Amino acid sequence: MSLDAVLARLDSDRAAALERLMAFLRIGSVSTDPAFAPEVKRAADHLAGDLSSIGFDAKVYPTTGHPMVVAKRVKGGGRPHVLFYGHYDVQPVDPLELWEHPPFEPFVANGQIRGRGAADDKGQLMTFVEAARAFIAVTGDLPIDVTCLFEGEEECGSPSLPAFLDAHADLLKADVALVCDTGMWDATTPSISTMLRGLAHEEVVIRCADRDMHSGLYGGSAWNPIRILSRIVADLHDANGRIMVPNFYDGVDEIPTQVKAMWDGLGVTEENFLGPVGLKTSSGEKGRSILEQVWSRPTAEPNGIIGGYTGEGTKTVIPAMASAKFTFRLVSRQDPKAIIRNFRAFVEARLPPDAVVEYKGGRGSAAIRLDIDDPAITVARNALADEWGTATIMAGQGGSIPIVGQFQEVLGINAVMVGFGLKDDRIHSPNEKYELTSFQKGARSWARIIAGMATR
């Protein structure tokens, strides 16, 4: 049976596969910082080159932002056709001083691949590429048609993606999407994500005086934008963790009781969920379980704040300006546009007459719920159970993968979210890692899923 041969090939080719991933990780493709744009381009070219080398028709498509990579190996004739999605851009690396090793000089230690992007998402997307490579090496072909779409702007809100999908709907046409940007339940238990929170983001810049002022001359009389901004942040939640933006909970549904029962049965507590990051208690909504808080309830978080003097020592200044970045994780039928509109009203209700506000951002995507009885999801669920030797958990997901909603809306296809990340992978943090087992058994899992898709 060819699947066994493909799995054997993946096992024998491990060292070379790892070296290919390391070469990819050495490219510092930070999409959110314009200074890294040449590296982002280099990562796109690198990936397209690799896929061409195994017989894909791969092209780099420029956009107004970072490029898209589309790689096709399509024969038609009624074979199933999957659209595989991953992203080759990575998060910024600051604070750089907390990395134990330079983020773009990856290495392997203690069964872990270390470096920025190891888990999110270069290591993950390469699990699929390695599975495809092994199939082609062993059988000379893939048993299904495959189109790959690799994005370079996932970490900065995918600004070019909607227009690209619209313009290239025919190029990207498939029966189902496969997305590899999520996690396992734990290091030995596979998981498919069927709920994803949405995401809206906004940056708020508040200005008062037309210059920084001396706190001796003006202190006691001059408006301080740090105080105004802090009031906005502090007012976002009440003492019970409820979000106070007007109409924020419009469209938030309760999860079905059987789903809640399943989640409650998973044994997740504040202690075991938050312990790995050094916390003991949850800051979340009172009366909600921890999995509800992170999977089925919306959030409002300041992700960054800056204003005034932040260097060494002291400076007696009342600054002219302060700013903060916010993200909102959305659930159910919450409307990102309404969230942003209501948040802006919330901000403006807290501005004194002498303060002016500027917004940067304001984009968003809604939450996703998939049908857990979809046939493609069943194929993946069984394939994962075969590889890992244990039942696949159908999970929620606190993060956001806006592409999944866009695949539904623009291309009219569902997405199967399979991924091999672990909770302690430190994605978006210093010292990001990906388990070698995730990388190796992830590739084997995709080989099984591809084989399953061919025979269903």
Q: Which stretch binds a second copy (CB under 8 A): 108-116, 244-252, 347-355, 434-442?
A: 347-355
User: Please, what is the minimum distance in Å from the beta carbon of residue 232 to a second copy?
Assistant: 8
Coil, strand or helix at 199: strand
Which structure tokens are listed for 127? Answer: 């699990």
Residue with tokens 């909600």: 288
Q: How far is the CB of 381 from a second copy (least distance, A)?
A: 22
Q: How far is the CB of 374 from a second copy (least distance, A)?
A: 23
Side chain identity at residue 171, one-letter code: L
Would you count residue 404 as binding a second copy (CB under 8 A)? Answer: no
Nearer to a second copy by Cβ, of 387 and 432: the residue is 432
Residue 78 binds a second copy (CB under 8 A): no
Cα 442 to Cα 388: distance, rounded to the nearest angstrom: 10
Please identify which residue in 290, 347, 367, 411 interacts with a second copy, judged by CB under 8 A.
290
For 296-335, b where at least 16 C-beta lie within 10 A, e where not — what string? bbbbbeeeeeebbeeeeeeeebbbbbbbbbbbbbbbbebb
* Residue 157 makes contact with a second copy by CB under 8 A: yes
φ/ψ (deg, to 5) at 64: -70, -15
Give, as ranges, the residues between 89 and 108 that touch a second copy (CB under 8 A): 91-92, 94-95, 98
How many Cα atoms are found within 13 Å in the side-chain-facing hemisphere of 193? 28
Tell me the C-alpha distance between 152 and 61, whole Å. 11
> Which residues lie below 8 Å from residue 136, measured CB to CB, with a gap of 6+?
54, 55, 142
284 binds a second copy (CB under 8 A): yes
The answer to whether 392 contacts a second copy (rule: CB under 8 A) is no
Among 56, 88, 185, 223, binds a second copy (CB under 8 A): 223
Judging by beta carbons within 10 Å of its beta carbon (0-12, 13-18, 19+), is residue 255 exposed, middle or buried?
buried
Stretch that binds a second copy, among 30-38, 364-372, 408-416, 442-450 (CB under 8 A): 30-38
| Beta-bridge partner residues of 412 | none
Q: One symbol per residue from 296 to 315: x for binding a second copy (CB under 8 A), - otherwise; what is it? A: -xxx-xxxxxxxxxxxxxxx
Query: In b/e form, how buried is each residue of 91-126, taking b as 16+ CB within 10 angstroms?
Result: bbbeeeeebeeebbebebeeebbbbbbbbbbbbbbb
- Shortest distance, position 168 Cβ to a second copy, whole Å: 25
- Tell whether residue 258 is a contact of a second copy (CB under 8 A): no
Nearer to a second copy, 292 or 387 (CB): 292
When asked if residue 367 is in the footprint of a second copy (CB under 8 A), the reply is: no
Distance, in Å, from the CA atom of 94 to the CA atom of 317, rounded to the nearest integer, reads: 27
Q: Taking a C-beta distance cutoff of 8 angstroms, is the pair 422, 433 a contact?
A: no
By CB under 8 A, residue 115 contacts a second copy: no
Smallest gap from Cβ 40 to a second copy, in A, equals: 13
For residue 175, what are the CA distances in angstroms to 40, 84, 408, 449? 30, 11, 11, 14
Choosing from 3, 138, 259, 318, the residue that interacts with a second copy (CB under 8 A) is 318
Cβ 327 to a second copy, closest distance in Å? 5
Of 4-12, 352-360, 364-372, 444-452, the segment contacting a second copy by CB under 8 A is 352-360
Structure tokens at 253: 């549904």
Q: CB nearer to a second copy: give 58 or 404.
A: 404
> Which range touches a second copy (CB under 8 A), out of 49-57, 150-158, 372-380, 386-394?
150-158
**Closer CB to a second copy, residue 137 or residue 317?**
317
Binding part of the chain for a second copy, among 66-74, 75-83, 132-140, 149-157 by CB under 8 A, reads 149-157
222 touches a second copy by CB under 8 A: yes
Q: Give the residue, chosen from 9, 66, 201, 441, that forms a contact with a second copy under the rule CB under 8 A.
A: 201
The backbone torsions φ and ψ at residue 376, rounded to the nearest 5 degrees and listed phi first, read -65, -35
Among 8, 16, 266, 277, binds a second copy (CB under 8 A): 277
Please identify, among the stretches 19-27, 184-192, 208-216, 338-346, the one whose residues bind a second copy according to the rule CB under 8 A. 208-216
